[in-house]
């Protein structure tokens, strides 16, 4: 087995604004099963961060436990990383973000890590609006423990040995919408054309951005009767829109009928341009998005694309009125202003 | 695009760039792996079957394989294929017992080979192994032809030629007639040979035709003839100031020889530009390293002489201009002529064919350049039982082309003698075998070395210039050879795709270090080449296209810079990618293992 990817690369490999190639954003070679959707998501993250010309050391990647949570080792080898306790990535990330808001936070989790053991953490992070990108690599199965149903397995879907799931699934997209996430998307590991722009949009979003990414488990959940297999997802995938992310007002080259394109300018100046694929979907209306999701779920469709975006999000720092400077750059006097300052605060609260 | 046709070996053969470029199609990666494994004798035998003179070619080959080597496209320099071949020859053990036996029972057919150069000797070997009685004629006292006279001993020691010629002439089945110049083809045919092979080379050096040439003849020498005299010891000294005319490898051999025979101010002067010179880049480098300047765009105009003694040469300065059809013309720049003083001039401006011994009324036709009219594949002349090869066929080429011609001519002669159609060529022998040993485990070393090309150690220059018989290159030792061999990308271990097994998970696309693989909508080739993960701009390299995927897309692999690292197959969950070793040997007349052109 190969443990090292050859450093030789395509002689015409393009460089980004920093002069780096995509290969400079890779991590070590994956030890996940061959064909795992998670590896495609890692590749999409590499592509997105490279395209945005983000210096790798400006990114902090955090994860919990599980197949998905192993993946931060396989991308952005030069970024900060934290492999936390099972289901506890949200609280560790929240703390990191409070201490240093200048980094770009990327949380990678799985359906077990976020929908089972970490559901409470997931919910509160969404509520608080921590400025981060939260990617759930959702395969609907406990792959690391050999294929039990997870909390996102659809009711009626079959396990590899034929057992039928009788429990209702948790839809993390619906939860995120309900709990106040300001950028909510669903995608599929087998469709990088859709996934890469969604990750770029999420990374530039200045609030909590959630992407539920269906990621087939080739070893335990890619059979007939599974609703998270490559074939099933390809057959039932209903994309609501196609997203492009721009940093300038690039003129629209293709011609669209009026109302076909929705444009959203984010706080950092990036322009999200969504090509509508479904007439009746408005990505800036949270209630409509929830309705749309419920309606199409009832029709047996897997709705993908950018389902909801708030162009003017608020984040946790806005709510708390915290200092803009990272704590590691404040001096002792600022960090520990002394008993007089404490007295003043206490007095204000009496 | 249409899916790639894998029912013929062409696609995968082209992927093995070195083997495709080699006129004799030597299975290069296979013998390089054997060298890395320390199996030098096995490596030698693969070469011996394919190119007959591994020790000679490992020192002198024109190596068309190296400019073709894929390694040169992913880093700076190709694998030192030629010098690795020499490693196999230097380190081999006993090989005679591994060579197929010459049958004691003859098939009753007699073949004459005119000339004992590499082409004739190849014909002799291939046919003798099949039971033919082959008679080889040469005017010299030993076999080897131009390999004796036109390659200086500091590049090719005598012992190497003697050994490898001996493997052909010393094992029976071949009768040598040395010191015997064939004077008449008609007379030879009258002796009742079933077929005649003409491999007598292109023996005449082209003359220099400028004023003063005759007057100063004593110090103006035709390059290849001069090299022959040096080789035989008839010439031991040359003047201090030497001008070598010509830009081919013979010119390089001349100037380097002159440096060793007393030439202190030796320069090479060519009509064309430096880049267009026919000499191989490494031969130019070797010459320049020995302090020999190469001056270009100078056309010889006049020879200067005093009292019958050469004093110098006058050259006209020219520049290259291209007409509408892209043809190059050298036109005078109008600048003043340049004069170089010199004591000797070596003329190495090409060779001309000459067949004074072939009668023009026996039905063998020549073209207007004086070359025989031949079928380019079968090498058959207009006389059905006369075949040509080597420099005698299409003008001066090199040893490896002569060997390739020899194999083809032997096949033709065998078909001819059996009364079959010589154009009905036997297929090459091809094997494809999976290299999978277990999960993620391959029977070849798929780690890609990132080492840069290793230099071949040279003998100290002081020692080299003192004696013309001192071989300059020492060759790789075993350790260096191993490291250089590891640079080979194993291009013969092919990435073979089975669309029926593919679930389109993108695992291969994501892992490929050189962005070779794309799954996309099909289209015309021009369009497809722009839509791949990395644009496929090298049109000399084919796209591997496969259809039959569930989504209706096609798998497109740009073969150009594939490292053959096997990662696509390692990350494939269904075995849709497999690493399969492609082994191709061109058909030989004799059976080698399971392979023969006839049963």
| pLDDT tens string B110-120 | 999 999 999 99
Q: Is B570 on the interface with A (CB under 8 A)?
A: yes
CB contact under 8 A, A35 and B537: no
Choose the closest CB to A9 out of B510, B514, B571.
B514
Which residues, in sequence order, are CB contacts of A244 under 8 Å at separation 6+?
A197, A272, A273, A274, A275
Residue of A nearest to B561 (CA): A10
B515 contact residues in A (CB cutoff 8 A): 9-10, 13
CATH number of B205-349: 3.50.50.60
pLDDT at A174: 96
At A254, is the pLDDT very low, low, confident or very high (cuts 50, 70, 90)?
low
The bridge status of strand B294-295 relative to strand B298-306 is unpaired
A39 contact residues in B (CB cutoff 8 A): 506-507, 510-511, 571
CB contact under 8 A, A10 and B534: yes
Q: How far is B508 from chain A (nearest CA, A)?
A: 8
Q: Is the pLDDT of residue B597 over 90?
A: no
Give residue B458's region: left, alpha or beta (phi > 0; psi -120 to 50).
beta
What is the C-alpha to C-alpha distance for residues B599 and B594, in angstroms, rounded to an integer?
10
Pairs across A and B, CB distance < 8 A: 99
Tokens of B397: 């080429």
A5 contact residues in B (CB cutoff 8 A): 511, 513, 567
CA-to-CA dists, residue B510 to A43, B185, B385, angstroms? 6, 65, 59
CA-to-CA dists, residue B101 to B109, B118, B126, B172, B417, angstroms? 18, 21, 11, 9, 21
pLDDT at B204: 73
Extract the runs of DSSP E, i.e. beta strands, from chain A.
59-63, 80-83, 104-110, 132-138, 141-142, 148-149, 183-188, 208-214, 237-239, 241-246, 261-265, 271-276, 302-309
At B107, is the pLDDT very low, low, confident or very high (cuts 50, 70, 90)?
very high
Q: Is B549 on the interface with A (CB under 8 A)?
A: no
Rounded to the nearest angstrom, the gap between the alpha carbon of residue A345 and the centroid of all alpha carbons in its chain is 38
Going from N- to C-terminal start, the domains of chain B cover 100-202+353-417, 205-349
pLDDT at B525: 96
CB contact under 8 A, B573 and A4: no
Q: Is B510 on the interface with A (CB under 8 A)?
A: yes
ipTM confidence: 0.90
**Contact by Cβ (8 Å): B120, B113:** yes
Going from N- to C-terminal start, the domains of chain A cover 22-320
Q: For chain A, which residues lie within 8 Å of any Cβ of chain B, measuring from their own Cβ?
A: 1-2, 4-13, 23, 29-30, 33-37, 39-40, 42-43, 189-190, 192, 216, 218-219, 222, 230-231, 234
CB contact under 8 A, A8 and B506: no
Structural Rg of chain B based on CA atoms: 26
Q: Is the pLDDT of residue B593 over 60?
A: no
**Contact by Cβ (8 Å): A204, A123:** no
Q: Is B517 on the interface with A (CB under 8 A)?
A: no
**Contact by Cβ (8 Å): B276, B253:** no
Choose the closest CB to A12 out of B535, B570, B574.
B535
Selected for mutation to probe chain A from B505, B518, B551 (highest A CB count within 10 Å) is B505
Choose the closest CB to B513 out of A9, A39, A192.
A9
pLDDT at B454: 96
pLDDT tens string A34-85: 999 999 999 999 999 999 999 999 999 999 999 999 999 999 999 999 999 9
Selected for mutation to probe chain A from B447, B450, B452, B510 (highest A CB count within 10 Å) is B510
How high is the mean pLDDT of chain A?
Answer: 92
Please compute the mean of the pLDDT values over residues B85-104 and round it to a whole number: 96
CB contact under 8 A, B506 and A189: yes
What is the homologous superfamily of the domain A22-320 according to CATH?
A: Thiamin diphosphate (ThDP)-binding fold, Pyr/PP domains (3.40.50.970)
Q: Is the pLDDT of residue B512 over 60?
A: yes
Q: Is the pLDDT of residue A32 over 50?
A: yes
CB contact under 8 A, A6 and B450: yes
Q: Is the pLDDT of residue B17 over 50?
A: yes
pLDDT tens string A263-316: 888 888 888 888 777 777 888 999 999 999 999 889 888 999 999 999 899 999
Q: Give ∠ CA A265-A267-A272 in degrees, rounded to 5.
A: 30
CA-to-CA dists, residue A30 to A48, B106, B205, B510, angstroms? 19, 63, 63, 11
**Contact by Cβ (8 Å): B129, B102:** yes
The bridge status of strand B554-558 relative to strand B344-347 is unpaired
pLDDT at B596: 45
Residue of A nearest to B549 (CA): A231
Choose the closest CB to A35 out of B75, B448, B507.
B507
Q: How far is B572 from chain A (nearest CA, A)?
A: 5
CB contact under 8 A, A43 and B506: yes
Tokens of B408: 């083809």
Q: Give ∠ CA B491-B409-B18 in degrees, rounded to 5.
A: 15
Best CATH choice for the domain B100-202+353-417 from the list 3.50.50.60, 3.40.50.10310, 3.20.20.70, 3.30.70.260 = 3.50.50.60
What is the C-alpha to C-alpha distance for residues B397 and A103, in angstroms, rounded to an integer?
65
User: Are B100-202+353-417 and B205-349 the same fold in CATH?
Assistant: yes
The bridge status of strand A271-276 relative to strand A261-265 is antiparallel
Query: A184, A210, A182: which is closest to A313 by C-alpha?
Result: A182
In degrees rounded to 5, what are phi and psi of residue B206? Answer: -70, 140
């Amino acid at each position: 087995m190969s443990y090292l990817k050859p450093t030789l690369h395509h002689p015409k490999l393009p460089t980004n604004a920093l002069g780096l190639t995509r290969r400079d954003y890779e991590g070590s070679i994956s030890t996940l099963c061959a064909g795992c959707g998670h590896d495609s998501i890692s590749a999409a993250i590499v592509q997105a961060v490279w395209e945005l010309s983000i210096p790798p050391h400006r990114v902090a990647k955090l994860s919990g436990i599980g197949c998905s949570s192993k993946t931060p080792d396989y991308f952005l080898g030069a970024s900060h990383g934290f492999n936390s306790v099972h289901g506890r990535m949200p609280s560790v990330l929240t703390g990191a973000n409070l201490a240093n808001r200048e980094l770009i936070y990327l949380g990678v989790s799985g359906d077990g890590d976020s929908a089972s053991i970490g559901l409470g953490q997931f919910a509160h992070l969404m509520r608080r609006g921590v400025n981060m990108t939260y990617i759930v690599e959702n395969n609907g199965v406990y792959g690391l423990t050999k294929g039990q149903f997870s909390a996102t397995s659809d009711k009626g879907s079959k396990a590899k040995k034929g057992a039928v799931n009788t429990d209702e699934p948790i839809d993390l997209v619906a939860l995120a919408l309900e709990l106040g996430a300001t950028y909510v998307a669903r995608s599929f590991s087998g469709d990088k054309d859709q996934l890469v722009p969604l990750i770029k949009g999420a990374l530039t979003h200045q609030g909590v951005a959630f992407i539920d990414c269906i990621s087939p488990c080739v070893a335990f959940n890619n059979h007939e009767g599974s609703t998270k297999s490559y074939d099933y997802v390809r057959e039932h995938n209903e994309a609501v829109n196609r997203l492009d992310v721009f940093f300038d007002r690039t003129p629209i080259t293709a011609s669209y009928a009026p109302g076909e394109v929705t444009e959203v300018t984010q706080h950092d100046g990036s322009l999200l341009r969504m090509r509508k694929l479904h007439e009746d979907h408005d990505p800036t209306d949270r209630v409509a998005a929830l309705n749309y999701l419920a309606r199409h779920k009832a029709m047996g469709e897997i709705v993908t694309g950018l389902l909801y975006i708030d162009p003017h999000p608020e984040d946790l720092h806005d709510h708390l009125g915290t200092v803009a400077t990272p704590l590691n750059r404040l001096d002792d006097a600022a960090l520990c202003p002394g008993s007089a300052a404490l007295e003043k605060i206490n007095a204000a609260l009496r | 695009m249409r899916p790639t046709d894998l029912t013929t070996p062409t696609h995968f053969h082209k992927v093995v760039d070195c083997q495709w470029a080699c006129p004799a199609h030597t299975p290069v990666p296979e013998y390089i792996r054997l060298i890395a494994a320390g199996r030098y004798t096995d490596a030698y035998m693969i070469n011996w079957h394919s190119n007959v003179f591994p020790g000679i070619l490992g020192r002198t080959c024109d190596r068309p394989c190296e400019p073709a080597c894929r390694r040169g496209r992913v880093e700076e320099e190709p694998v030192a294929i030629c010098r690795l071949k020499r490693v196999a020859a230097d380190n081999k053990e006993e090989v005679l017992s591994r060579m197929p036996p010459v049958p004691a029972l003859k098939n009753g057919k007699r073949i004459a080979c005119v000339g004992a150069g590499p082409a004739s000797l190849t014909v002799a070997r291939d046919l003798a192994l099949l039971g033919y009685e082959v008679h080889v004629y040469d005017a010299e006292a030993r076999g080897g032809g131009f390999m004796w006279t036109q390659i200086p001993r500091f590049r090719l020691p005598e012992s190497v030629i003697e050994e490898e010629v001996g493997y052909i002439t010393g094992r029976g089945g071949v009768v040598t007639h040395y010191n015997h110049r064939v004077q008449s083809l008609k007379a030879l045919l009258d002796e009742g040979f079933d077929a005649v092979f003409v491999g007598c080379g292109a023996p005449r050096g082209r003359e220099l035709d400028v004023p003063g040439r005759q007057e100063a003849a004593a110090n103006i020498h035709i390059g290849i003839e001069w090299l022959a005299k040096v080789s035989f010891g008839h010439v031991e000294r040359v003047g201090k100031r030497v001008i070598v005319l010509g830009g081919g490898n013979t010119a390089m051999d001349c100037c380097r020889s002159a440096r060793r025979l007393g030439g202190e101010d030796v320069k090479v002067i060519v009509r064309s530009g430096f880049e267009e010179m026919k000499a191989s880049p490494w031969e130019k480098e070797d010459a320049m390293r020995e302090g020999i300047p190469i001056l270009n765009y100078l056309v010889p105009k006049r020879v200067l002489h005093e009292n019958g003694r050469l004093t110098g040469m006058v050259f006209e300065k020219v520049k290259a201009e291209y007409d509408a059809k892209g043809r190059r013309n050298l036109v005078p720049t109008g600048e003043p002529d340049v004069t170089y003083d010199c004591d000797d001039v070596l003329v190495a401006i090409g060779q001309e064919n000459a067949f004074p011994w072939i009668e023009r009324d026996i039905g063998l036709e020549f073209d207007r350049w004086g070359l025989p009219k031949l079928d380019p594949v079968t090498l058959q002349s207009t006389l059905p039982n006369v075949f040509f090869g080597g420099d005698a066929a299409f003008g001066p080429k090199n040893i490896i082309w002569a060997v390739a011609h020899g194999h083809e001519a032997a096949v033709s002669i065998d078909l001819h003698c059996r009364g079959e159609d010589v154009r009905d060529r036997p297929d090459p022998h091809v094997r494809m075998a999976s290299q999978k040993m277990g999960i993620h485990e391959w029977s070849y070393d798929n780690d890609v070395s990132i080492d840069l090309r290793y230099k071949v150690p040279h003998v100290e220059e002081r020692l080299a210039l003192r004696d013309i018989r001192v071989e300059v290159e020492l060759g790789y030792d075993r350790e260096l050879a191993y490291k250089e061999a590891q640079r080979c990308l194993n291009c013969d271990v092919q990435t073979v795709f089975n669309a029926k097994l593919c679930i389109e998970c993108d695992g291969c696309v994501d892992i490929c270090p050189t962005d070779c693989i794309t799954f996309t909508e099909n289209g015309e080739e021009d369009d497809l080449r722009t839509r791949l993960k990395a644009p496929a701009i090298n049109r000399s390299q084919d796209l591997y296209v496969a259809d039959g995927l569930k989504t209706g897309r096609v798998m497109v692999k740009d073969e150009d810079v594939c490292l053959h690292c096997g990662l696509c197959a390692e990350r494939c969950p269904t075995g849709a990618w497999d690493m399969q070793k492609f082994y191709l040997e061109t058909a030989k007349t004799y059976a080698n293992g399971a392979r023969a052109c006839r049963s």
